[in-house]
Structure 1
Amino acid sequence: MQATALLHLLQLASPSLPIGAYSYSQGLEAAMESGIVTDAASARAWIVDTLHHVVARFEAPIVWRLLQAFSARDDAAVARWTEQFIAARDTAEFRAETIQMGYSLGKLMADLQIDDGGLLAILQAQPEIPLPTAYAYAAVALAVPADAALLGMLFSWAENQVLVCVKSVPLGQVAGQRLLLSLQPELALAAAAVSTLADDDLSSWSPGLSLLSMLHEVQYSRLYRS
């Protein structure tokens, strides 16, 4: 990868990107409240299971398809996968999360005035913009290779999950970095599997996570919005 594309990816995947990712736990806070995640070992088990059985089975494959669609300027494919992803958000928190961050990233890219060869018009034609759609648009507009963009998306997700654990389990900073380092082989495996999935293999079926998300909506004490 060229240096410019790598730097663009680092910026896009950075936790300092102003889209509000730090304010969401994606069900992890509810798992802590329920006693499922209590220490470093259970935190790692939660993240690995969620990565392989949830993220790598639906969100990441849709990001992959959206990357191809934006690269081909295929507005119909962008609309199709955007609509399917939003329809699969089965709790109020999960839906609000992806729409808020997608809107924020889309607005940021528009404000930065990236020369994208007409890609922004495809993005803005969507009635609602979830995070996978905005992320795929940004990666293609910044000329980040698709395989690197996919891995960057997975790493950004994992890093945010680890940061939630550092703040809320709580884990120490060194334990958090040890956890993140141990996840690298899992992220590589997930990325390799994503691009091989056929459309009919995609699945957002995760009833346990959905129940935890609904419990979080009425959780008395919480730091995160999901």
Structure 2
Amino acid sequence: KYYDYTEAIPDGPTTKRFQSVAKELGMVLVLPMYEIVQPGLYYNTAAVIDADGRYLGKYRKQHIPQVKGFWEKFYFTPGTDGYPVFDTAVGKVGVYICYDRHFPEGWRALGLNGAELVFNPSATSRGLSEYIWRLEQPASAVANMYYVGAINRVGIEAEYGDDDFYGQSYFVDPEGKFVGNVGDPHKPELIVRDLDMDKIKMVRDRWAFYRDRRPDAYPELVRR
């Protein structure tokens, strides 16, 4: 029945509706959805809409898990369109969806493509990964010298198990420091933070990880 929730992007009603919302509020939106391309071809996708309502493009989740409660290989196709970065009214924005966050290669690709702020929309539950929720994204922000917005849902979804989603959404800066408090583990919240985008250049000038990396020394990274 959940296949009925799929929509085309950008021609579906949800994208069109939120283009109007983005323009009305003057807000950049990252909009995760269940995308259909044709029957049998579905993606976990996030559309990116600029503050003037323009649809800028989409990112399709690359890494598809198959664990208890998340049998995603059954209903998601891995993305093959790389790691786009979108030039928005608030800076250069990338997206890395949920389980993607466990793979450092994509974080690095987004940085090399110019990302200044990467959003990681997630639906992840207690017991599986909570203990690394406050480790991976800050470490990735440090390694790539950009901001990360880590978003996770809250609440219990009992229809197919007992998944208890632990929330704790946050922003982290290019030094790996939380910007304000981490979100509540049980209650829905709106997290609003001011980000000093000048800090990105300051940190990159100091650490210069991109300058000192050695692509010729890492052939194992692309070997299956």
TM-score if structure 2 supplies the norm length? 0.26
Larger Rg: 2
Task: Decide which structure has greater helix share.
Answer: 1
Which structure's residues are more often strand, by fraction? Answer: 2
The answer to which structure, 1 or 2, has the higher relative contact order (CA under 8 A, 6+ apart) is 1
- TM-score, reference length from structure 1: 0.26
